[in-house]
Amino acid sequence: MISSDCHAGLPTEQYRPYLDSAFHPQFDEFLGERDARRAEATRLGVRNEAFAEKWFHDHEEGLKGGWDTAQRLKELDGDGVAAEVVFPDADAVDSQTAAPFGVGLGLSGDQDPELGMAGAQAHNRWLAEFVSEHPERHCGVALLPITGEPSKVVAEIHRAKESGLGALMIPAMWVDKAPYHDRRYDPVWAAAAETAMPIVTHSGSSPRHEYGDHLGIFVSEVTWWPARPLWFLLWSGVFERHPGLKFGVAESGCWWLPNQLWFMDRLYLGAHGGKKLSPFEELKRPPSEYLDRQVFICATNTKRRELAQRYEIGVDNILWGSDFPHPEGTWPATRAWLKKTFHDIPVTEARRMLGLAAAEVFGFDTEKLAPIARRIGPTPAELGQSPDQAAVEASWARSREVGRHWLTDNDFPVLGVNS
């Protein structure tokens, strides 16, 4: 199995040797504000004091895998994860491993360009060292403050690639900077395609200042922001101009995608509700075709409802993730989670969603991973999957036949087994 969404990061103060010394004074200020940031997270309700105390008490040893390679491999093996895609910020409870200047999961377009790039480079330098110990098992995701000077952004892409990192995380929010449809980003998209480094957005940043003390508003929107760049890139022709660019949305679920695809495809194909509109000239094919060619979803802790919609989403577009070592993920009970979730999914499809599709997107060598997978599992039987795969395939036949119902002349989606 390959997890498309895991996290690693140093305890924040330990980033100092990786940070350009010119920024050490600002780094000291950033460290001095940690308590205030934690208090703000607690006030909003993103952090729960009682939960935090129990979480760190119960998982003290395993959480060291956020930055300790030996402990990390022990935890991955225990979960049956042969390889992983490594995003920043190992600690999602107290933010004790935040990248300098908050450029990890809080990476945002309105950060100071110099501080943002300095913090990103510090994390990227450390991450390149971290993944180099077992490069066959880790794809490091470089932080990329894309709203800065394009030439510097492109240079960081090439530097990250040369250092051994394999993907790029950009801000989900550009805030007051140029939106991602702007042609100023074309050199960035071209460099990402040239280096074969997928670009990913990840949930985390949001306009928290707008939410007051209302946690429900935050949780309703935090997974929407990283999805939003998808339609900016699609409708502005970025995927058409850069067919080699791969783009993904991480830890935002994929439950929203079937309806979004249905809506966009129907508009492009001339649905009644869009007949007054001009043609979408920057696209040469329906949105779903760009999705299948260039887009993937890092579907952390994939839900049963999402799997029931996989023929609308596209089986190969769903990349399962454990979210290690975050508490909202499946660690340390990944095998139990997967048995509950994937037990009646055809083995051929489960293998795609649980690893093979991610191997293709992120460039893992499956021949090198095969011995590890055989050693740590899990097997189909351990996930509760039936040996009678013909019967399992047949149980999903109607749902598979209907697929994207708006393209297969069916009236409505068919979800679930034996429908």
Could you report the per-residue pLDDT of 21-55, keeping only the tens digit for each? 999 999 999 999 988 888 887 887 878 889 999 99
Over residues 151-170, the pLDDT tens digits come to 999 999 999 999 999 999 99
Please indicate, yes or no, if residue 417 is contained in any of the structural domains: no
CA distance 133 to 145: 26
Please indicate, yes or no, if residue 410 is contained in any of the structural domains: no
Mean pLDDT of the region 398-411: 94
Q: Which amino acid appears at position 182 of this protein?
A: D
Angle 318-336-314 from CA coordinates, rounded to 5°: 15
Provide the pLDDT for residue 44: 77
Which among 226, 174, 202 is positioned nearest to 328, based on CA atoms?
A: 202
Provide the pLDDT for residue 47: 83
Please indicate, yes or no, if residue 409 is contained in any of the structural domains: no
How many residues belong to the chain? 419
Q: Which amino acid appears at position 142 of this protein?
A: A
Provide the pLDDT for residue 417: 67
Residue 34 CB contacts under 8 Å (≥ 6 apart), including other chains: 12, 95, 98
pLDDT at residue 312 tops 70: yes
Provide the pLDDT for residue 215: 87
Domain carrying residue 98: 2-402
CA distance 330 to 316: 21
The CATH number linked to 12 is 3.20.20.140
Mean pLDDT of the region 59-75: 98
Farthest CA pair distance, the chain: 64
Over residues 102-129, the pLDDT tens digits come to 999 988 888 899 999 999 999 999 999 9
Structure tokens at 173: 């929010």
Over residues 345-364, the pLDDT tens digits come to 999 999 999 999 999 999 99
Residue 294 CB contacts under 8 Å (≥ 6 apart), including other chains: 239, 243, 245, 246, 247
Mean pLDDT of the region 407-416: 86
Please indicate, yes or no, if residue 76 is contained in any of the structural domains: yes
What is residue 358's three-state secondary structure? helix
Helices (H), strands (E): how many in the chain? 21, 8
What is residue 249's three-state secondary structure? strand
pLDDT at residue 254 tops 70: yes
Return the percentage of the chain with pLDDT > 90, whole number: 84
**Structural domains counted in the chain:** 1
CA distance 171 to 103: 9
Please indicate, yes or no, if residue 188 is contained in any of the structural domains: yes
Say which range, 70-79, 100-109, 236-245, has the weakest mean pLDDT. 100-109
CB-CB contact of 155 with 195 (8 Å): no
Please indicate, yes or no, if residue 418 is contained in any of the structural domains: no
Over residues 186-223, the pLDDT tens digits come to 999 999 999 999 999 999 888 888 888 888 998 899 99
Q: How confident is the model at residue 418 (pLDDT cuts 50, 70, 90)?
A: low
Please indicate, yes or no, if residue 377 is contained in any of the structural domains: yes
Please indicate, yes or no, if residue 413 is contained in any of the structural domains: no
Provide the pLDDT for residue 45: 81
Rg (CA), the chain: 21
Average pLDDT, rounded, for the chain: 95
Over residues 259-289, the pLDDT tens digits come to 999 999 999 998 877 778 788 899 999 999 9
Provide the pLDDT for residue 183: 98
CB-CB contact of 80 with 335 (8 Å): yes
> Taking the model in full, what pTM does it have?
0.96
